[in-house]
Structure 1
């Protein structure tokens, strides 16, 4: 795939060089992205795709704050807007976004995986990146999609999934009103739910970090996804909710990536 990268803006902010760009993703979609590196430059080092969750975008503080910290430490960080998010949003987001777009829409998952795959193409072609040291970290919806993506993309050498899980524990595909409907729902689940993909991440390291009081991903959802993955894997619990958590989550993710890449 020809990335056709368009540089929109480049600036140095303190110790970080920040580039705003667009590249070609799946179905020839133009993907808005932010690429962050140390302004001082460095020998080829690790890189990470850092993915936002539902109803947010690449420019949200909880994404850009760690991205800048990691870039200061010599990492290359790429953040992108998923389809229907950030600069790509065509309507106001709503709370049922996860179920409506992820579970019910295999095309959305396929688009996201293709966009992230093209993001790896971009990272591995970026000066200052060691192509053998590329990882992924995703929050919420970004973590669910990232599980599917990492399972399919061998260039991702480690994956950290944050405040995410799988709804497979509810066996939602059995709620169909007819055999045909149930079969369709099951096929959708197998094409979209991360629990059907996590097994393929091994033998690469897999980390899940979740909060103790998350109403979106209860313990059953978290443990379902974790059980589907193989070793090496680790599950950590931190105090907090789906939208409120402490800095310990970022420390867990960065330490894991440092040790794995």
Structure 2
């Protein structure tokens, strides 16, 4: 990019930061628990289509229609055998969306619990943070962040409506971008009996800034630009900082599982979220990089860790 183009981009980025700061007052109102519940609306109808099956479960494609007008597409995976079953809302990374419910390696959870996973409100787009498109990304992500939390609350309504679900054994699991989302939703909604955050953290501005400089990005940003974009996003979604809500999970248990070698999520971000949570809480470090949806062996190990933790708290049945 030529020098003149770089100057224009830098000026535009500064404008983005100022504009994002101006949105803080509006966002604070939109991010209150009452506003997020209102954004959720109520579950008006559920459309179901076959989604496949495996040896331990059956799957269905869902369209959840809500009173506020925006539908949620999801995949539900139901264990074979009679209920009532424990149940989880599971959010993976943005690239996988609802398909995360059916990934290889989740059998340890899926044989005991109903799992429902949504698509994100803003689908992943390759190169969305590249060049001039990066200018608009914080403004696109702002409503999507609020909608993601509202969608989790709506999925809890859906699980509550199922006669084969044990209402006292609901839990939330979020990985990567899903981790801060479930920490927020769990702090707002008292129905989940436990919350599990995988490979996520707090300090969203610093976390996004770090990720945008990562060499695995299609076009890594220089540190100054990544800092501006990351903190513009954090300002735009304020107050949806997971550190602000995670304490509300207590006295229900909160588990964090993070990779000791994770180059995408800085240790400072992990500790910021963990320290903001109240007991009972636990942080488990595993020897791995950032989890990817095609890493069946790692997902299998993580599933066993989650099952062991949930079983110890009476939320999943003990092995026979």
TM-score, length of structure 2 as denominator length? 0.67
2:296 matched to 1:248?
no
SS of 1:28's partner is coil
Q: CA RMSD in A?
A: 3.1
Cα distance, 1:94 vs structure 2: 4.5
- Distance 1:240-1:67 versus aligned 2 partners, 3 A rule: closer
Distance (whole Å) between structure 2 residues aligned to residue 253 and residue 95 of structure 1? 33
Cα distance, 1:81 vs structure 2: 1.0
Equivalence map 1:1-261=2 (5 Å): 1-9=42-50, 11-25=52-66, 27-40=68-81, 42-60=82-100, 64-72=103-111, 74-85=112-123, 91-92=125-126, 94=128, 105-167=141-203, 170=206, 188=236, 190-243=238-291, 246=298, 247-260=300-313, 261=315
- Distance 1:259-1:171 versus aligned 2 partners, 3 A rule: closer
- Distance 1:104-1:228 versus aligned 2 partners, 3 A rule: farther
Distance (whole Å) between structure 2 residues aligned to residue 171 and residue 33 of structure 1? 27
Cα distance, 1:222 vs structure 2: 0.4
- Distance 1:101-1:95 versus aligned 2 partners, 3 A rule: closer
Structure number, greater radius of gyration: 2
Q: How many residues align?
A: 243
Structure 1 residues without counterparts, runs of 5 or longer: 173-183
Cα distance, 1:161 vs structure 2: 0.1
TM-score, length of structure 1 as denominator length? 0.81
Bigger proportion of residues as strand = 1
- Distance 1:168-1:258 versus aligned 2 partners, 3 A rule: same
Cα distance, 1:43 vs structure 2: 3.0
Distance (whole Å) between structure 1 residues aligned to residue 182 and residue 247 of structure 2? 13
Cα distance, 1:249 vs structure 2: 2.0
Structure 2 residues without counterparts, runs of 5 or longer: 1-41, 131-135, 209-231, 316-320
Distance (whole Å) between structure 2 residues aligned to residue 78 and residue 185 of structure 1? 28
